[in-house]
Amino acid sequence: MSKKRPTVELDAVDKAMVSLLQEDGALSNAALGDKLSLSVTPCWRRRKRLEDEGVITGYQANVDRHSLGMDVFAYVLVTFNMHSDKAADNFEAVINNRAEVLACHKITGSADYMLQVVATDLDAYGDFVERVLRRQTGIASIHSSLALREVKFSSRIPLPGDK
């Protein structure tokens, strides 16, 4: 089980900084400072503190999956028939090394894991299910739901006080 991190208190400037960086992680400290009315050094210090405290965990480009031919998006529920640490550890190790798995969560309810998976087409998704998921020891069932249309997608976390 993962250890819970302590909540970090953010002041108004911290919240504004995180919000701006969630919109554009490529902002330089100079540009960020201009938007926050801070000089470069205090801006850099705040940004570094937010990184060191684990509020900001990294930076990445947002990519349109369709532009790369990833036209299938599936939510996959995986249920194990035996609940051993070894089976779960092996499954998690395999999933962590699969680029087509965007997210994997251990969940409550009738299933044990929920995955978000992308694929170029249904054949590629079927290959993933057959060659990866079905070969994992201890899996009792795999239920897939394919997204028909994306209504909203965001990786931006709402900040305290946001609505």
CATH number for the domain that contains residue 122? 3.30.70.920
Rounded to whole angstroms, the Cα distance separating 19 from 80 reads 39
Instruction: Count up the domains in the chain and report the number.
Output: 2
Give the residue numbers spanning the domain of 39. Answer: 12-52
Average predicted confidence (pLDDT) for the chain: 94
Residue 90 has pLDDT above 90, yes or no: yes
Q: What is the mean pLDDT of residues 117-128?
A: 98
First to last CA, the chain: 31
Q: Residues 32, 47: contact at Cβ < 8 Å?
A: yes
45, 111: one domain: no
- Quick one: 75 and 128 in the same domain? yes
pLDDT computed for residue 5 by the predictor: 78
pTM: 0.86
pLDDT, one tens digit per residue, over 43-76 is 999 999 999 999 999 999 999 999 999 999 999 9
